[in-house]
């Protein structure tokens, strides 16, 4: 078991460009979560999936953000028309599912929008 992996680890993009991040959860973990962490703050919840179903989205997730988990395994988070305020660490976590409280995080993708 290699843990939660995220790619890329770092992404620098110009304002207005689209970016996509990928998260591979721990094998057999049904739940997958996305969080965003800005400097000096704790992570903030963005959205989560139970298998392929997206069950909740935070109001932080504007229309420019979209997340998918098409086959219930890996997930992608896309940000369209990036803004400087999108610069943050994007963290993915996974858990076995309902009744299993342990949530394991990946190393994150650091996005810098110039």
Partner 1 sequence: GEDVEQSLFLSVREGDSSVINCTYTDSSSTYLYWYKQEPGAGLQLLTYIFSNMDMKQDQRLTVLLNKKDKHLSLRIADTQTGDSAIYFCAESITGGGNKLTFGTGTQLKVEL
Q: Where along the sequence are the contacts to partner 1 (CB under 8 A)?
A: 4, 31, 33, 35, 40-45, 48, 50, 55-56, 91, 93, 95, 98, 101-108
Shortest separation between residue 78's beta carbon and partner 1, angstroms: 20
Which of residues 54 and 80 has its CB atom nearest to partner 1 in the complex? 54
Report whether 44 contacts 55 (CB < 8 A).
Answer: no
Which of residues 85 and 101 has its CB atom nearest to partner 1 in the complex? 101
Shortest separation between residue 74's beta carbon and partner 1, angstroms: 17
Shortest separation between residue 27's beta carbon and partner 1, angstroms: 17
Distance separating alpha carbons of residues 73 and 7, to the nearest angstrom = 15
- At which residue do the structure tokens 């949530």 appear? 103
Which of residues 1 and 14 has its CB atom nearest to partner 1 in the complex? 1
Shortest separation between residue 81's beta carbon and partner 1, angstroms: 26
84: phi then psi, degrees, rounded to nearest 5: -60, -30
Distance separating alpha carbons of residues 102 and 22, to the nearest angstrom = 21
CA distances (Å), 100 to each of 50, 76, 95, 114, in order? 13, 23, 7, 40
């Amino acid at each position: 078991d290699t843990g939660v992996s995220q790619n890329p680890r770092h992404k620098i993009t110009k304002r207005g460009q689209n970016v996509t991040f990928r998260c591979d959860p721990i094998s057999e973990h049904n739940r997958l979560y996305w969080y965003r962490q800005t400097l000096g703050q704790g992570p903030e919840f963005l959205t989560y999936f139970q298998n392929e179903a997206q069950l909740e989205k935070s109001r932080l997730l504007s229309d420019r953000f979209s997340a998918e988990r098409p086959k219930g395994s890996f997930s992608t988070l896309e940000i369209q028309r990036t803004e400087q305020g999108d610069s943050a660490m994007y963290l993915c976590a996974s858990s076995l599912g309902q009744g299993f409280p342990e949530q394991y995080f990946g190393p994150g993708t650091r996005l810098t929008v110039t």
